[in-house]
Amino acid sequence: MHKGQVTIKDIAKELGISPSTVSKALKGHPDISLSTKKAVKELVEKWNYKPDPIALSLQSGQSKTIGVIVPEIIHYFFSTVIGGIGDLAYDSGYQVMFCQSNESYEREVNAVETLLSNRVDGILVSITKMTEKFDHLKKIQKAGIPLVFFDRICNEIESDRVVVDDEEGAYKAVKHLISMGCRNIVHLSGPPNLMIGKGRKEGYIRALKENNYPVLDSNIIRCDTAEEARLIIPGFLSGKDVPDGFFAVNDLTAAETMKIVKQYGFNVPKDIAIVGYTSGQIASLTDPPLSSVDQHGYIIGREAIKLLIDRLEKDYNAPFQTKIIKTELVINGSSLRS
């Protein structure tokens, strides 16, 4: 029994053949006899030989590793995206290195450096709320490494991207609130520098205008965390013109808004209807269950890594593609009025 890390040279020495013959036998080369292939296979199994991944990457020029940078791994949406990425990566023979920026521009920059130093074959990125400079992302392409943006994209860089039709998703959500009799709908909006925030705001405005409702600046307010909701929502509930509907940029903000609305003695949805955006686990845990726009995160993840693998394995110089994922409004008790 051979002790220690087994190499091709060890197998060759044991069988009295050259290392190149062992290598060809392992690859099923037609020049190698069946008896030699059989002998190599039996010894490989006996000694539990595993190819050196570093040596393989040097030979092929690929590490078979893909880097992924997400703002929050614990966020339901991003966890479903990660699931889609991981499943297709595994099926395609790739490993994945995940980095969490934690909504920090500096951590995002460091994550890029980490992935580049680990010689990944390609990188998938969803940028942070704080990212307004993009030199670190441009550096990826300058290094000749394919870059794919998903969900939160950078318009300053030409690349493959997978985006959600956020404008249409928000439009459907607000149109639903209007159909339920809401006349004074507040939009709890996202960061103005992110395309997702802009798209959801535009969908809100389109639904109001289509129904000849006024678009009030006072009814559009930046509020995309539970902490911000605790500071902002009481102001809306304490005035004379209390909203009868809230459309939140994400489910966490919507759920916290529902909690505060109920604390102030209002009934959901009879007095105030609420719709969120993500349709994740939070939506099923609120009372009543939260109506929300499903982004189909798993599909986003699979489409993003598919674009990257296609560029790596099929045509590196193919034109950049943008995949648009349609949303689905999931109506639950928080907005459904009888």
Task: Domain ranges for the chain, please list them.
Answer: 8-51, 63-164+297-325, 166-295
At the fourth CATH level, the homologous superfamily of domain 8-51 is lambda repressor-like DNA-binding domains (1.10.260.40)
Cβ within 8 Å of residue 62, ≥6 positions away:
121, 312
Please check whether the two domains, 63-164+297-325 and 166-295, share a CATH topology. Answer: yes
Q: Which residue in 233, 204, 234 sits closest to 216, CA to CA?
A: 204
Q: Give the pLDDT confidence score for residue 62 in this predicted structure.
A: 64
Q: Give the pLDDT confidence score for residue 19 in this predicted structure.
A: 82
Cβ within 8 Å of residue 56, ≥6 positions away:
64
Q: What is the pLDDT along the chain (338 residues), one digit of tens a residue?
A: 455 577 888 888 889 998 888 888 887 788 889 999 999 889 888 888 776 655 555 454 566 899 999 999 877 899 999 999 999 999 998 999 999 999 999 999 999 999 999 889 999 999 999 999 999 999 999 999 999 999 999 989 999 999 999 999 999 999 999 999 999 999 999 998 889 999 999 999 999 999 999 999 999 999 999 999 999 999 999 988 999 999 999 999 999 999 999 999 999 999 999 999 998 889 999 999 999 999 999 999 999 999 999 999 888 889 999 999 999 999 999 999 97
**3-state SS record for 177-229:** HHHCCCCCEEEEECCCCCHHHHHHHHHHHHHHHHCCCCCCHHHEEECCCHHHH
Yes or no: say if 101 and 107 are a contact pair by the CB < 8 Å rule: yes
Yes or no: say if 204 and 220 are a contact pair by the CB < 8 Å rule: yes
**Sign of the CA dihedral 284, 287, 289, 291?**
negative
The whole-angstrom separation of Cα 331 and Cα 338 is 13
CATH assignment of 63-164+297-325? 3.40.50.2300
CA–centroid distance for 216 within its chain = 32
Yes or no: say if 290 and 258 are a contact pair by the CB < 8 Å rule: yes
User: Which residue is associated with the tokens 């023979």?
Assistant: 93
Q: Give the pLDDT confidence score for residue 3 in this predicted structure.
A: 56
By CB neighbour count within 10 A (0-12 exposed, 13-18 middle, 19+ buried), where does 267 fall? exposed
The whole-angstrom separation of Cα 136 and Cα 196 is 21
The whole-angstrom separation of Cα 298 and Cα 301 is 5
Q: Give the pLDDT confidence score for residue 58 in this predicted structure.
A: 47
Class of domain 166-295: alpha beta
Q: Residues of 11-27 as b/e, b for ≥16 C-beta within 10 angstroms? A: bbebbebeeebbbbbbe
